[in-house]
Every structure is written in structure tokens, then in C-alpha cells.
Structure 1
Amino acid sequence: MSAGEIAEHFDMSKPSISKHLDILREAELISSEKKGQFVIYSINISVIQEVLGNFLDIFKK
């Protein structure tokens, strides 16, 4: 999804969404790929699974 497509689902400006997406990308939670004039974002499933697994491990103890 592009930042504009993502922004349609939130009550935030496109620049604000883009800033949050940059933070998520820096944390490697999402990846981005330039396609023409757009940047397409996708979830990094393996990292999300690892983070959630670690989070759940905390509560198993």
C-alpha cells in the first residue's frame, strides 16, 4: 500500500502517516519499495512474528 492508501484509513495527514511509516521502516517492522512515483509499504511478517513471540513469552513466565 502507498502512504496515501494507508492514510485513507486514518484521521491523519499524509505527511504524518509518512513520518510514522519511516519510523516503522527504520525499526524493520515494514519494508518499502519505490514503484514509479509511489513508495509501496509492506509488513515484514517475520519480524512481527518474532516481536509478538517475544512479547507473549514475557506473559508465559
Structure 2
Amino acid sequence: MNDVFKAIADPARREILHLLRHQELTAGDLAHHFNMTKSTMSHHFSVLVNADLITRRRDGQTIWYSLNTTVLQDMIAWAMDLTSLTKDKGNI
């Protein structure tokens, strides 16, 4: 879970997740939205992949990225559990 929080702490990585919410995009498509070097973009992609927030697949020379909604759903479930624990403590 720490990898997920580290990944979403950066605004550029949150924007990458936002861009992938509707469709799979290539690394080049995503890079067009940012004023960053290729190595910086590659770093952001690696952080997101390592946190399992996105997946990547290679098609020839092209790398495609897509959102891994399973991890996001797990994170939301964790946050909801946390808030319900806080509410339960207030009712004691």
C-alpha cells in the first residue's frame, strides 16, 4: 500500500492516472500532455507500474499503458474501512 501512496503523491502521476481512466494510451500519447524529458516520464511510468496502478504491454516498438482498476478499488475499500472505523470510535 505504501507504493500506492508514494505513486499518487505526485501530481504528474495523478494526471497520468486521470488520462488513463477511459482508455489505454501509448507512452507517446501520455508524454504529449507533459513538458518533461523522456527519462522523467519513464520514471513516472515505472513508479506507477511498480505500485500496480497501471499495466504496460509492448506492441512492437510501442508501449501501451492502461489503468489497473483492481488496485484502485482495493485502495478505495481500505479508505472506506478506515473512515468507518473512525465513525465507529465516535459512537462508543
> TM-score, normalized by length of structure 2?
0.58
CA gap of 1:60–1:11, structure 2 versus 1, over 3 A, is: farther
> TM-score, normalized by length of structure 1?
0.80
Which protein is bigger by CA-based radius of gyration? 2
Q: Return the match for 1:49 from 68, 73, 80.
A: 73
**RMSD of aligned Cα (Å):** 1.4
CA contact (8 A) 1:30 1:44 kept: yes
Question: Please, which runs of 5 or more residues in structure 1 have no aligned partner?
Answer: none
Instruction: Say whether 1:32 aligns with 2:59.
Output: no
Corresponding residue pairs, total:
61
Q: Within 2, Cα distance between the matches of 1:54 and 1:41?
A: 25
Instruction: Say whether 1:19 aligns with 2:43.
Output: yes
Task: Give the strand-richer structure, 1 or 2.
Answer: 1
Identical positions, percent:
34
Question: Please, which runs of 5 or more residues in structure 2 have no aligned partner?
Answer: 1-24, 86-92
Q: Within 2, Cα distance between the matches of 1:30 and 1:5?
A: 15
Task: Give the helix-richer structure, 1 or 2.
Answer: 2
